[in-house]
Amino acid sequence: MRRPHVGDASFYLDLMDDPDFHRNIGDRGLRDVAAMEIHIRDKLLTPFLNRGFGMWLVETRHDKQPIGVCGLVDRDGFEGLDLGYAFLSAHRGQGFATEAAGAVLEFSANTLGITSLFAIVAPENIRSKKLLGKIGFTWRERSVFPATGDPIEIYDWNIAESLGA
* CA-based torsion, 11, 13, 19, 25: positive or negative: positive
Side-chain-side CA neighbours of residue 157 (13 Å): 29
Per-residue model confidence as pLDDT tens digits over 53-68: 999 999 999 999 999 9
As a CATH number, domain 6-162 is 3.40.630.30
Contact predicate 113/149, CB 8 Å: no
Q: Is the pLDDT of residue 163 over 80?
A: no
The per-residue pLDDT for 162 is 67
Is 37 exposed, middle or buried (CB count within 10 Å of its CB: 0-12, 13-18, 19+)? Answer: middle
Per-residue model confidence as pLDDT tens digits over 16-64: 999 999 888 888 888 999 999 999 999 999 999 999 999 999 999 999 9
pTM for the predicted model, two decimal places: 0.92
Nearest-angstrom CA–CA distance, 109 and 92:
26
Q: Is the pLDDT of residue 115 over 60?
A: yes
